Amino acid sequence: MADIKKRLPCNVPGDFFVDASCIDCDICTEIAPAIFGKGKDSACVIKQPKAKEEEEKALMALLSCPVGAIGTRSKEGVREVIKKFPAKIEDGVYRCGLSSKKSYGAMSYFILHPDGNWMIDSPRENAHLLKNIASLGGLKYIFLTHEDDVADAEFYAKAFNAQVIIHERDAHAYPKADIKVSGDDPTNMGDFTIIPTPGHTAGHMVLLYKNFLFTGDHLWYSPERKRLWASEEYCWYSWSHQLKSIKRLLDFRFEWVLPGHGRSIKMSHKEIKRQIKELLLMYNF
């Protein structure tokens, strides 16, 4: 729970605040970008919510913060707002919210599909979210983009008897996985394409579904740079492999980039291609 005594000076005056326990994971700025912005090494409240919709978004960010760094004087509305997760993005694709400290607050996603629903990476264990997912038909698969974002996948897998998918090179993070992807060739599973993208970790993978690319920590949108971005600083395995894996995305068509960290974005396929090519050129790749 956020501590008013540790309220950061960068917050604008008012009920909502971020305290000093913030780990700068970007979840609140993704969920409620009108209310939360980037401070120095933390998020800050840049505008207090006024309209009901803004208040709801601020509370959704509060609930999703992995370390409880967001506070507000009034908790009114929290019980109603938790029912909004998973929160619809578009076309049967949802954000799970309720990020876990175990994955450094990575965003996870839910896909409603007639042949069985998917979860991409895992939120933290939460009975309300479990119930809401159950009401949407439960889960058939849990796709883990990489070893860092496993969080409470086991809790959700057990509850729904879901099959967990991970690359064998990252499988030490989930040894009991039901499907271990091997090699670097894309794998089709009905409407879904699993694309190994080694770089951030040796077994990193992204998932393509319709126009949506779930990118884990491979590629994201940077509002500061106003472009698609990837970071050598946060690359744990091999930056040259990561650049090669980014290049292979040019073979696929998508309009949404939905990452674990960083901001999501929707733009035309043409613009995505242009930005990927430009990013690669920045690194002479």
Contact set with ligand SF4 (CB under 6 A): 18, 22-28, 36, 42-43, 65-67, 69-70, 105
Residue 82 phi/psi, 5-degree rounding, is -65, -25
Among residues 28 and 258, whose Cβ is nearest to ligand SF4?
28
Distance in Å, CB of 98 to ligand SF4, minimum: 11
Assigned token pair, 269: 């396929």
Among residues 78 and 136, whose Cβ is nearest to ligand SF4?
78
Among residues 22 and 272, whose Cβ is nearest to ligand SF4?
22
Give the C-alpha separation, 35 to 24, whole Å: 15
Q: Is the dihedral of CA 137, 99, 209, 167 positive or negative?
A: negative
Distance in Å, CB of 34 to ligand SF4, minimum: 14
Among residues 78 and 134, whose Cβ is nearest to ligand SF4?
78
Instruction: Give the three-state DSSP class for 57.
Output: helix
Distance in Å, CB of 72 to ligand SF4, minimum: 12
Distance in Å, CB of 127 to ligand SF4, minimum: 21
DSSP letter (8 states) at residue 191: T
Give the C-alpha separation, 63 to 65, whole Å: 6
Instruction: Give the three-state DSSP class for 165.
Output: strand
